[in-house]
């Protein structure tokens, strides 16, 4: 056999490869979550946004340039187990399936360690880690029953080293997200569910602008090998790839997307 005779092309790479898939994106009303909602919907997925802010289905569809039946939006705090449960139950009742879960909701207060109160510590862990845990637990049964699922969790450069802008609670939370990701990847890979994390560096979102205002974001990024701030859509393209059939052999990964920030 020659080298080229053994080549097998991927089955789907036509731009509409999420047609028929149903996705949930937490934190999908802003920044990288919103960009991910766009990237999934444009590939054909129906997306339910779960966020404190509810942009509304009509506004969301028009902003994303997709048909209204491709999106749904529910105001929910990802730490509220009961509200989450009813949002997932109603989506499953309407669509009878859930294929993709993206956990992008997060907060990153830049409080110095000595000033972090117990309440703030718990809130940061609750939104970033507990919310991710709750959504994974609600999504997994539907994915396992169809033997196909994709979970993408938002960690951060802070999950690999320490946060440059957020506090110690944020660093702790994003390390926790990586632990949860690896644990679930090992447990549910045999059921056809992949679980991965993305670890963005400095990305131009309302969160980053609030923590690093007035040119400090650009200044911090200027020392990177790619000396600029990242765009939300650049991260969303990675998330969308991880959600596709083509990424079936990637699980338990924590993928850097940071302009080369962590190169030693
Ligand atoms: N921007 C960056 O530079 C950067 C870098 C690394 C990781 N991250 C992570 O990426 C993810 C997305 O962040 P972003 O920069 O797009 O931020 P963003 O602030 O633009 O968006 C975050 C969204 O999460 C929602 N949210 C916050 N708390 C919530 C809660 N309790 N329940 C439901 N929704 C809630 C917000 O309403 C908002 O719409 C976060 O997990 C963040 O920690 C961001």
Q: Please state which of the ranges 31-40, 64-73, 232-241 shows the lowest mean pLDDT.
A: 64-73
Out of 25, 26, 32, give the residue to mutate to test ligand 1, the one with the largest number of ligand atoms within 8 Å of its CB: 32
Residue 202 CA: which ligand 1 atom is closest?
3
Q: Is the pLDDT of residue 9 over 80?
A: no
Q: In degrees rounded to 5, what are phi and psi of residue 167?
A: -90, -175
Q: How far apart are CA 178 and CA 173, in angstroms?
A: 9
* Ligand 1 geometric centre to CA of 167 (Å): 15
Angle between helical axes of 131-146 and 168-188 (0-180°, round to 10): 20
Interacting residues of 146 by C-beta distance below 8 A, sequence separation 6+: 97, 99, 192
For residue 28, the SS3 value is coil
Reported as a single tens digit per residue, the pLDDT across 51-99 is: 999 999 999 999 989 899 999 999 999 999 999 999 999 999 999 999 9
Q: The pTM is what? A: 0.97
38 tagged catalytic:
no
For residue 204, the SS3 value is coil
Cβ pair 106, 207 in contact under 8 A:
yes
- When the candidates are 3.40.50.720, 3.40.50.880, 3.20.20.100, 3.40.50.300, the CATH number that belongs to 17-255 is 3.40.50.720
Reported as a single tens digit per residue, the pLDDT across 153-188 is: 999 999 999 998 899 999 999 999 999 999 999 999
């Amino acid at each position: 056999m020659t080298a080229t005779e053994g080549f097998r092309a991927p089955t789907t790479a036509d731009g509409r490869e999420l047609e028929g898939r149903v996705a949930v994106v937490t934190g999908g009303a802003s920044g990288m979550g919103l960009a991910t909602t766009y990237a999934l919907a444009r590939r054909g997925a129906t997306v339910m946004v779960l966020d404190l802010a509810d942009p509304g289905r009509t506004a969301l569809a028009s902003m994303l340039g997709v048909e209204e039946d491709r999106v749904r939006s529910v105001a929910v705090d990802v730490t509220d187990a009961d509200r989450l449960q009813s949002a997932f139950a109603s989506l499953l009742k309407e669509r009878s399936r859930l294929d993709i879960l993206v956990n992008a909701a997060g907060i990153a207060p830049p409080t110095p360690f000595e000033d972090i109160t117990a309440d703030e510590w718990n809130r940061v862990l609750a939104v970033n880690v507990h919310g991710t845990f709750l959504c994974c637990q609600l999504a997994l049964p539907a994915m396992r029953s169809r033997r196909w699922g994709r979970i993408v969790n938002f960690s951060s450069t802070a999950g690999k080293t320490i946060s440059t802008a957020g506090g110690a609670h944020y660093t702790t939370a994003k390390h926790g997200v990586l632990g949860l990701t690896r644990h679930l990847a090992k447990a549910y890979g045999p059921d056809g569910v992949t679980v991965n994390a993305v670890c963005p560096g400095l990305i131009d979102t309302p969160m980053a602008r609030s923590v690093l205002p007035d040119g400090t974001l650009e200044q911090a990024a200027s020392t990177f090998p790619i000396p600029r701030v990242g765009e939300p859509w650049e991260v969303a393209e990675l998330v969308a790839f991880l959600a596709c059939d083509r990424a079936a052999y990637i699980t338990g990964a924590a993928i850097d997307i940071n302009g080369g920030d962590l190169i030693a």
